[in-house]
Amino acid sequence: MEKEKPKTFSFKVSDNTKEEMIEYFQDKKREKTPQYALFQADEEDTVVTFYESNKVVFQGISADIDASIWRERELALNGKLPEEKEKKDKDKKEDTTDYYFINSIGSDEVGTGDFFGPIIVTASYVSRKDISFLESLGVRDSKKITDEKIINIAPSIIKRIPHVSIILNNEDYNNNYSEKNNMNKIKAILHNKVLYQLLNKDKYNYDMIVIDEFAKKYVYFNYLKDVSNVVRNITFTTKAEDKCLSVACSSIISRYLFLKEMNKLSKELNIEIPKGASTKVDEVGKEIVKKYGIDKLKYISKLNFKNIDKIKN
């Protein structure tokens, strides 16, 4: 029987796809890298070489499959390949899935973009019979609702909507964060955990499990390759908080708990702790260091943020 011949495929990718590929192939890189290449890695029967010019070469028996996967990712992120800028995007289709008038389970997180405060992830179950109740409260993406309104409506949602929340404090985050355990991997593990715990609380009649697409499906599940009890029947979509009520509820509950944690931290330090990662955050960080010492930051902030360098300097 004739041995299958290796194939070669190549194309350029954009910077956002480049970042995902560097992250995805982190554990698969070869020790030696060809000249002018950022890395070379093994993906089953395919050798992937990423050049400084953002050109990616796939070589091997399964090269066509792996090239197709990353080509689709480039199209999903940017609508077209860099060398096809003059060509109109005819392949991108609008997502017409009904995420709203269904029984759904959805998860969402807060705190991942905040230097201070924990990461909080929540999974919620919303049935069709809850829709009118949630509409009466004005539920939608928590990022579009003021903190004051979240504080007012969240207790009612918490009381009625089945949910599970996990709070990852800063000390545990800093102990777990590394190049291999980056932010998205930590998020994936927490999302999986709250979904699994919620599904095991009761037998819910749901049509769909929805997560906002912070990572492509194959990347998300690659993060969970060493995790037991993985929830797999998940639908990933962008702007899920706007489309799906269970994700919106999870967003609001997470935000509510985050606000409570930040208020608790402000009282503990007797300093108003700002959200986000702005220059104001840097100034407050310097004030905290002066009062409590640099070691205090590992318990109340995310040490991988660039703010830490500005505060130390």
Q: For the chain, which domains are there?
A: 7-83 (3.30.310.10), 104-264 (3.30.420.10), 270-312 (no CATH)
What is the reported pLDDT for 35?
A: 85
Give pTM, 2 decimals.
0.71
Per run of 10 residues, the mean pLDDT along the chain (length 313 residues) is: 69 90 90 88 91 90 86 83 53 74 96 96 97 91 82 97 98 91 94 98 95 92 94 94 95 97 97 93 95 96 93 86
d(CA 93, CA 97): 11
Instruction: Find, among 26, 57, 17, 52, the residue nearest to 37 by Cα.
Output: 52
Give tens-digit pLDDT for 153-186. Answer: 999 999 999 999 999 999 999 999 987 889 999 9
d(CA 243, CA 80): 25
Q: Provide the CB-side half-sphere exposure for 261 (13 A, CA).
A: 23
Contact 274, 281 (CB under 8 A): yes
Neighbours of 196 (CB within 10 A): 16
Q: In terms of DSSP bridges, do strands 208-212 and 234-237 run parallel, antiparallel, or are they unpaired?
A: parallel
Q: Which two tokens stand for residue 270?
A: 């007797």
d(CA 55, CA 71): 12
What is the reported pLDDT for 132?
A: 93
What is the reported pLDDT for 75?
A: 85
Please give the torsion angle defined by the CA atoms of residues 81, 87, 91 and 97, in that order, rounded to the nearest 10 degrees: 90
**Buried (b) or exposed (e) across 169-182, using 16+ Cβ within 10 A?**
ebeebeeebeeeee
In sign, the C-alpha dihedral spanning 262, 264, 265, 266 is positive
Backbone φ, ψ for residue 216 (5° rounding): -60, 155
End-to-end Cα distance, the chain:
66
